[in-house]
A and B are shown apart, each in its own frame.
Chain A
Amino acid sequence: MDEHPVAGAAEDLSRRTFLMKVGIALNAAVALAIATPVVAYLLGPVIKRKEYLQWIALGSADDFAAGETKLVSFQNPFSNSWDGATAQVPAYVRRTGTGSGASDFTVFAINCAHLGCPVRWFKESQLFMCPCHGGVYYADGNRASGPPERGLFTYEVKLDNGKLLIDAGQIPTLSNRASADGPCSGGEWPQEPAEKALANIVKTIEPYKPNPYESPRG
């Protein structure tokens, strides 16, 4: 349709084409120079991940009774004023013994190891249950049933002057444990396979004696 006749000879055109290419190259160079820091800006959340992890106090060790599992929450160490309620993170503290060593405490992340939904503790049946897809865990965090492929995530724990501290600061996922630094209980897979754990449980059970008073129903 439109022809756009160009005034000027062919050699003129080649010179202008060259200048146009120079112009494109200049723009590309400027764009690259501008875009490089922008890439760093976009990757910001990935680059400075070490800063996120901190030792966070969950309160005095005496707040937790031996043999009990308690729901607690702590403030995300890396939060902004506009985070609102999401700055809080829930967790479960389980105290196994009356001792005052870090090994007497296990702190579980709230997130199911399957897809991160919040698990609920039932002290009567000594189970954690997940409302999403039915993942179930034993009191020690080992997987009991359902789709999770491992036990609950745990935080690294230490005791300092009677205070219970955990190393926390990121949402636990299968590749990104609750505590990312160093070898910690949360980073490992359940120490004992389910069958062995089960054998231990069964060993502790007294043999079943039939009740002489029960009446079979007809």
Chain B
Amino acid sequence: MAWYKNIYDWLEHRLQLEGPIKHEIMHPVPRKTASWWYVFGSASFVLLMLQIVTGILLGLVYAPSAAHAWDSLQVLNHDLPLGWFLRAMHGWGSNFMVAVVLIHMAQVFLFGAHKYPRELTWVLGVFMLLMTLGMAFTGQVLRFDQDSYWGLGIGASIMGRVPFIGGPLVHLMLGGPMINGATLTRFFALHVFVIPGTLLAFTAMHVWMVLKLGINEWPTPGRIVRRETYIAEYTELAHKDGLPFVPGAVWKDLVFSAAILFAVAVCAAVFGPYGPTGTPDPTIIATVPKPDFFFLWLYTVLSFLPPELETPFLLIVPPIAVAILVALPFVAGVGEKSWWRRPVAVFSVMFIAICFGVFTHLGTYTPWSPIMNAWSGAPIPVELLHNRTPLERQGANVLQQKQCRNCHQLGGLGGQRGPALDTVATRLTEDQLIRQVLQGGGNMPAYGAALSPAETTALVAYLKTLRPHYQPPAVDASRGVVAMNTK
């Protein structure tokens, strides 16, 4: 007998794992379930393992101290061989994990896998999603840079909106009254011990239930889930038209997992690690904080809500969203599984995906934010200064110097918070321009206190020139009426 067989037998004689493992991995799955659509769960698991391994490797060097964390990341990025690659793998791994988990969830929902008897598997999955997002946020905090510091400020501001206990909650979250060393250490504990530990325990239960309850069968229109008959029907399907999980279905999981790991590695190698951006020094206020990719949609939503709706939205919508997800398998736990017979489900997924995509895209270029250096960095296009009188050119100076460009584009340069001014004279008359500049309104500050009468005169004189030659200037309609009546 070969020597390795001897060793195996010696171990197996004591461990006795072969029987239970064989029993589990050989369990039959319905033939159509061995599909490429069913690979996202195992891919999420593989990514979780990747995150744990790379996380431990980074933990060998990372210093969870507010004074040193940023420096230790620099050491990882620049001094240690392949330290940058491990940071990149961990960062890109987190992006992929959030994405794959979301795809897994959408697939499970569209295939009706949350229905009887897999309700608890779904509910655990909902909490695993929340923990994945929690890992993403706490991980962003550990990359202790400017974005991280002000991201914590945003978190504290959201917490501070909770009625009655908001103040204590902020202190609890930050580990004190300010963002500092105590904040970083508690987010370190959350990111490294608390959330991953819970996530692993939940993952074990999640996988255990998949093994015990069987992988969801391919949904067929007309094949109705009934509590009384489902288990018998599923067992019959799995045994009559089934395959052993190993190797019948597992090879696709393995191929996809390898592809995902390879994709993470390619992204890591090509795009490199995330930051860190500037040092977490709060006195450097020339910064434009931005969350990581997976929270950009929230960043967008927070800029579009009216002020009076913001606190209710922040405090009420997330609990409702979680409650809907948790309640889903109990409200819609039986019936049709096929997406052909569940138009509301399909529409909901499409709607959420489109909203998520649009908000995320907006978040990448933040049209609602003033561009802080546009007034000094974005010159007025030369053709918009041709043939202007000295007064009008002085107005162009005022436009530039008073930071108007931070919110208003000219020639495609400048902020997008307010409307572009290239054709403003076709929209507003002189009177309206004066009123708008002095009194503001429509989300524009009033400049009355910041402009002298001379500056206002010059500015409005310049704004009145901003129209294409083929378009007439705006006219006050009431003047026309008056002119007609006085004839």
Contact = CB atoms under 8 A, between A and B. Distances in A.
A124 interface: yes
A85 B402 contact: no
B295 interface: no
A205 B178 CA distance: 42
A127 B372 CA distance: 12
A83 B181 contact: yes
A130 B289 CA distance: 10
A171 B281 contact: no
Contacts of A198: 439-440, 446, 448
Nearest to B285: A118
A78 B178 contact: yes
Interface residues of B, number: 89
Contacts of A6: none
B394 to A, nearest CB: 11
Contacts of A215: 389
A152 interface: no
B2 interface: no
A118 B157 CA distance: 12
Interface in A124-182: 124-127, 129-134, 136, 138-139, 144-149, 169-171, 173-176, 180
A78 B299 CA distance: 31
B268 interface: no
Interface in A42-63: 43, 45-46, 49, 52
Contact of B448 (A84, A86, A136, A204): A204
A81 interface: yes
B74 interface: no
Nearest to B166: A175
B280 A85 contact: yes
Interface in B267-290: 279-283, 285-289
B403 A171 contact: no
A115 interface: yes
Interface string B435-474: 0001110011111111001001100010011010100010
Nearest to A51: B177
For the residues of B in contact with A, the DSSP-based class is loop
B450 A117 contact: no
Interface string A55-96: 000000000000000010100101111111111111000000
Interface stretch (A19-27, A29-37, A97-105, A206-214): A206-214
B68 interface: yes
A116 B448 contact: no
A206 B308 CA distance: 34
Given A133-B368, A173-B170, A180-B167, A83 B67 contact: yes
Contacts of B434: 208
Contacts of A170: 171, 177-178
Contacts of A122: 375, 403, 406
B448 A201 contact: yes
A149 B309 CA distance: 10
A111 interface: yes
A11 B196 CA distance: 46
Contact of A175 (B162, B288, B389, B430): B162
Q: Which 3 A-B pairs have the closest CB atoms?
A: A173-B160, A84-B67, A175-B166
Given A174-B160, A204-B448, 16 more contacts: A52-B176, A78-B178, A85-B66, A85-B283, A88-B281, A90-B285, A114-B302, A116-B150, A127-B445, A132-B299, A134-B407, A144-B445, A170-B177, A176-B167, A214-B392, A216-B464
29 contacts: A46-B172, A49-B167, A85-B281, A86-B149, A89-B283, A90-B285, A110-B282, A110-B285, A111-B157, A115-B154, A116-B150, A116-B157, A122-B403, A124-B450, A133-B369, A134-B368, A134-B370, A136-B370, A147-B310, A149-B310, A171-B153, A171-B156, A175-B170, A176-B171, A201-B446, A210-B430, A211-B461, A213-B389, A217-B473
